[in-house]
Chain A
């Protein structure tokens, strides 16, 4: 029995230590004298790799999820003669929940895993050590631009996801199932509180962006520099980041819309 508690205790301590290391890594990466001339090109490159290259999967997923929402929403609402409310239903689901959450999950799978694997491989091939020996801080040079790129690009991706999704709902709802086009948009506009719903959704996506990018970078940076180690780290990034998104989503939703 005491062994059981010991092992729980050790796990708790280990994960606390992990959070401590991760925090220290992030702090040393982003705090310091800004050097825009050097950091800007690195940041732009990462915006492309992390953000632009994730656009396709996000837009395609957004379109399909919006279309499914339109279809499902319509079949439910039409029974109550409330198909006029399809617009707000689609928009609110996307802006409040599905946009940030699904984009976060996709981002963890597409960009997060790639970040972990890339940094793990840089570690295994001694590129990080060689930066250090060249008197270049790998945290500032490698971690920081990727962190900012993830933090900024994911909320933008989430907005794109929601926008495309709403369009998908509109295509199915009014283009196919015959909900009145004017009603679709006008009821949506009056029902969606642009400030509360949109802003809360954006806040969620910023939180998820922070967490996913941070986890991905940390897992890569602390990975065991072997092929088995990198593959374990990559898996762990996707699992940990996804669970973190879902858990945080519940907490944020309770705070934002629960009271």
Chain B
């Protein structure tokens, strides 16, 4: 099986704060791969690295066989037309209606006539159940609707790869279930490759084909959802069951607490 995305020995730091140190993972074509980890571990950063918005300090990021950090601007933009990112906040353009938001990538990157754009937009909105909300402005949408509208925009150009950033975070149980079902059916019907980054373990394991758990700047466990559930490594179990105590520290890394107290400065 060929991999659409391959990360190897990735190192990355935000300033002095090391986020990844030797991270490797693969995403096979046509599969949905989950990347799980606690908040602040660098999941959004990982998606930005894959999308070429951030450059790694070392290591390789291959998408569709191309080494992303080395791509020239034009080549990177060409590659980005084949991938979409669903941002955590939805990131709808606030000065455009839902319809205009979904039409935006079509207008930017195709020369389709207006009637065709209309058909495509309505089709995508129908797929996420928002055809009736097409005239609303983003400020008039609920959180769940905004995320579905953003999803319609993300699939407007029929990408090969979708990157989902915390698609379930902050949703009520019903809209969570709607989005879970939607992502799953989109992936199956469109034959997409997806990377879902999330800390909602139960939801994401219910739809993923394969999952990675990241902690401590690298991959600490991987496998199919069943393999992971029966993995008895302490760190995996702590994460899957959401136990507060265990190998995963909830502290932002720093010196030893006592040393810090005795030093007596900010």
Contact = CB atoms under 8 A, between A and B. Distances in A.
A227 interface: no
B51 A136 contact: no
A76 B9 CA distance: 79
6 contacts: A127-B92, A129-B85, A132-B51, A134-B81, A135-B109, A137-B77
Contacts of A132: 51, 53, 80
A116 to B, nearest CB: 16
Shortest Cβ-Cβ A-B pairs, 5 listed: A130-B91, A126-B91, A135-B80, A135-B77, A133-B85
A125 interface: yes
Interface residues of B, number: 21
A125 B109 contact: no
B105 to A, nearest CB: 5
B87 A130 contact: yes
B87 A134 contact: no
Interface string B20-49: 000000000000000000000000000010
B88 interface: yes
Interface in B60-84: 77-78, 80-81, 83-84
Contacts of B58: none
Contacts of A130: 85, 87, 91
Interface in A111-165: 122, 125-127, 129-130, 132-137
Contact of B89 (A125, A135, A136): A125
Interface of B: 48, 51, 53, 77-78, 80-81, 83-85, 87-89, 91-94, 104-105, 108-109
A122 B94 CA distance: 8
Contacts of B94: 122, 125, 127
B63 to A, nearest CB: 12
Contact of B93 (A38, A127, A133, A137): A127
Contacts of B88: 126
A238 to B, nearest CB: 23
Interface of A: 38, 122, 125-127, 129-130, 132-137
Given A126-B89, A129-B87, A136 B108 contact: yes
Contacts of B93: 127
A134 B105 contact: yes
A136 B81 CA distance: 9
A133 B51 contact: yes
Contact of B87 (A38, A122, A126, A137): A126
Given A134-B104, A135-B109, A136-B108, A129 B53 contact: yes
A132 B77 CA distance: 8
A133 B89 contact: no
A125 B108 CA distance: 21
A135 B91 contact: no
Nearest to A49: B95
A134 B83 CA distance: 8
Contacts of B80: 132-135
A104 B40 CA distance: 43
Given A129-B87, A129-B91, A130-B91, A135 B51 contact: no
Contact of A127 (B78, B81, B91, B105): B91
Interface centre among A122, A127, A135, by most chain B C-beta atoms within 10 angstroms, is: A135
A139 to B, nearest CB: 11
A125 B91 contact: yes
Contacts of A38: 108
Given A127-B93, A129-B53, A135 B87 contact: no
Contacts of A135: 77-78, 80-81, 108-109
A136 B78 CA distance: 10
Contacts of A122: 94
B15 to A, nearest CB: 13
Contact of B108 (A126, A127, A129, A134): A134
A137 B93 CA distance: 15
Given A126-B91, A134-B105, A135-B109, 17 more contacts: A122-B94, A125-B91, A125-B94, A126-B88, A127-B91, A127-B94, A129-B48, A129-B85, A129-B91, A132-B51, A132-B53, A133-B51, A133-B80, A133-B83, A133-B84, A135-B81, A137-B77
